[in-house]
Structures are given as C-alpha cells and as structure tokens.
Amino acid sequence: MTQFSVLSAVQVRVLGVLIEKERTVPDTYPLTLNSLLAGCNQKSSREPVMELTESEVLEALDELKATGWVVDHLSGRVARYSHQFGKVLQIPSQSVAVLAVLMLRGPQTAGELRNNCERLHRFADISAIEAFLAELAERAESALVTLLPRQPGARESRWAHLLAGEVDLSASVVSAAPSNHTALLARVEQLETALAALQTEFAAFKTRLGE
C-alpha cells in the first residue's frame, strides 16, 4: 500500500510518537494508551506542543486502525498499540526515522534532522540524510516531504512532511522565526527597562539640584 489519505494533526502526532518510542524505549513498546498520551503531550522535542485528551487520541487510534496504520494488542486487560508506518508506505527504516522527526518537531534543515534523528537512526553525514530526503520527495506514488522556500535571513532551507497535506507557508514563516530574533527582542526589553530606570534617576537628580 503506497497511496494514503491525508492525515489529521492528531493522527500525525500519534504515529510519530509510536515510531519514536518503538526505537527509544523498546522495552515498553507497544505502548499503552497512557504512555501514548504522555508522549503526544510531552513538552520537549515537540513542535507544536499539544494538549490532547484521551478521547482525541482514542479517536485517532480507531481511525488509524481502520486504515492499517496502527495495530492494537491485548496484554492482560490492557490494550497496547503499535504502528505499521513503514509497511503502509513501503519505505525503509531510515526514511521512517526521518519522517517521524519531521512529524514530531516540524520543519527542519537537513543538519537539524540529522542531529534530531540520532536516537532513531544514526546517519553518517549530511549527504546520507539528504539522499533519503530526495527519495521521499521524488516518490512516483506521492511525495512525502517537500523542501520549503528559504526564509529571509536563514542560511538553509527546511524540509517538511506532507502526510497532513500541503504545508501552510504562512504558519511556517511564523514558526521559523530565528531563535536569535527572540533573544534580540528580550535584549531590547532589557535595554528599555534600563533606560527607564536611568530616566527616573536623572529626573530625581535634577530635582535635587533644584531645577
């Protein structure tokens, strides 16, 4: 099976977490609903951060099971869930790792992807991950990733997955704001606070001089 329907944001997050946890905590995989929910809502290594409810995750699991992406297992009285991501898309494990990181962390450069994929798959160098990205972008059935236009001030273009449909470039621009821009804004606020304090001190000094 190589064709697929566009996934929802919740389905993308659920699949991404299942792939991640299979490789990072294999002793607890397949995942229980509680573990899956915690992985979906964790604050680190997630873009965007989500606050999904148990019912939202269950609904996504039911939809994914119906289309073959997810399989459930009964362990005692506890249901556990595993993914069939690579089987559904007929792609190698390296490509599965790349897509999972894009699904969990949003658009990234090839260098960022290589670093963030470290726990899922270790790529020898940038060219190795770029080769898998090119393969995913040029699939005859349907492209799974796309190279986004380079943002102003950015040194490299970022890659994004297409499992949830075409990328909203306007939202991408907002999320792509360089981290140094945030730092600059914080610095400006500090300077404005310092300036206000100096102005207050200067006014008090003038008062003491009788002006």
Q: What is the pLDDT of residues 60-114, one digit of tens each?
A: 999 999 999 999 998 778 999 999 999 999 999 999 999 999 999 999 999 999 9
Q: What is the pLDDT of residues 19-53, one digit of tens each?
A: 999 999 999 999 999 999 999 999 999 999 999 99
Beta carbons within 10 angstroms of residue 123's beta carbon:
21
**Closest CA relative to residue 44, chosen from 24, 72, 22, 64:** 24
Lowest mean pLDDT among 12-16, 150-154, 159-163, 207-211: 207-211
Model confidence, pTM: 0.79
> Is residue 3 domain-resident?
no
**Burial of 63 by CB count in 10 Å (0-12 exposed, 13-18 middle, 19+ buried)?**
middle
**Closest CA relative to residue 164, chosen from 3, 10, 40:** 10
Its domain, for residue 54, covers 9-170
DSSP 27: G
Type of residue at 33: L
> Is residue 2 domain-resident?
no
**Are residue 41 and residue 132 in the same domain, yes or no?**
yes
Structure-token match 């001190």, residue found: 201
Domain count, the chain: 2
**Are residue 26 and residue 121 in the same domain, yes or no?**
yes
Q: Is the N-terminal amide bond of 48 cis, ω within 30° of 0?
A: yes
> Is residue 138 domain-resident?
yes
Q: Is 45 helix (H, G, I), strand (E, B) or coil?
A: coil
> Is residue 4 domain-resident?
no
**Are residue 141 and residue 196 in the same domain, yes or no?**
no
**Are residue 139 and residue 53 in the same domain, yes or no?**
yes
**Are residue 166 and residue 181 in the same domain, yes or no?**
no
**Are residue 24 and residue 127 in the same domain, yes or no?**
yes
Beta carbons within 10 angstroms of residue 71's beta carbon:
14
